[in-house]
Amino acid sequence: MIIVSNTSPITSLSAIGYLNLLHDIYGTIIIPVAVYEEMTGLGYNVPGTIEVQTLPWIEKRELKNRLLLERLENELHRGESETIALAVSLDAERVIIDENPGRKKAISLGLNVIGVLGILLIAKQRRLITNIQPLMDDLITEAGFRINQRLYLYVLKLAQESNQD
């Protein structure tokens, strides 16, 4: 299974201590060079910096076909553009991306998109975690993850952690 990830899912899950969920669910995660550089080229560590450099199940890949990348860079940030272009070129089964513009573009190109909240739902289904709500709360407070109230409540309902029907 080929899975390509953008920066924010790695940093968000690392910030709350649950990066291992990506490995538990998907095995190997592929990141483009731009994502690797976003995380390692700042001169200081962000959550996930050490992990992308050391974990054997996170593979850095260079994008060969730059044509799609050039089109995407007119609309998206470099990391998102390279993530999507790499996913297309590898015919990835899934791309992990959270930002709305990137998600919309990836879907328009026929990619199967999931974000951190979807990862948490899968993790709960597989009993890798017991509750989603404390992790969503940690994402908000520890990782600066933005989620509107409607989506927050919807995820809780899907996770069967909501008292509302």
Cα 68–72–75 angle (5° rounding)? 165
Checking if the pLDDT of 131 tops 90, the result is: yes
Model confidence band, residue 88 (pLDDT cutoffs 50, 70, 90) = very high
Write down the pLDDT at residue 163: 53
Q: Any long-range contacts for 44-52 (C-beta under 8 Å, 24+ apart)?
A: 46/11, 47/10, 47/11, 47/12, 47/14, 47/15, 47/143, 48/10, 48/11, 48/13, 48/14, 48/15, 48/19, 51/10, 51/14, 51/19, 52/10
Domain count along the chain: 1
Q: pLDDT, tens digit, for every residue of 9-28?
A: 999 999 999 999 999 999 99
Q: What's the average model confidence in pLDDT over 86-96?
A: 95
Percent of the chain with pLDDT over 70: 98
Q: What's the average model confidence in pLDDT over 143-164?
A: 88
Write the CATH number for 23: 3.40.50.1010
For residue 65, what are the domain limits? 1-165
Rounded to two decimals, what is the model's pTM?
0.92
Write down the pLDDT at residue 74: 87
Checking if the pLDDT of 165 tops 50, the result is: no
Q: pLDDT, tens digit, for every residue of 21-56?
A: 999 999 999 999 999 999 998 888 889 999 999 999
CA–CA distance, 28 with 23 (Å, rounded to integer): 6
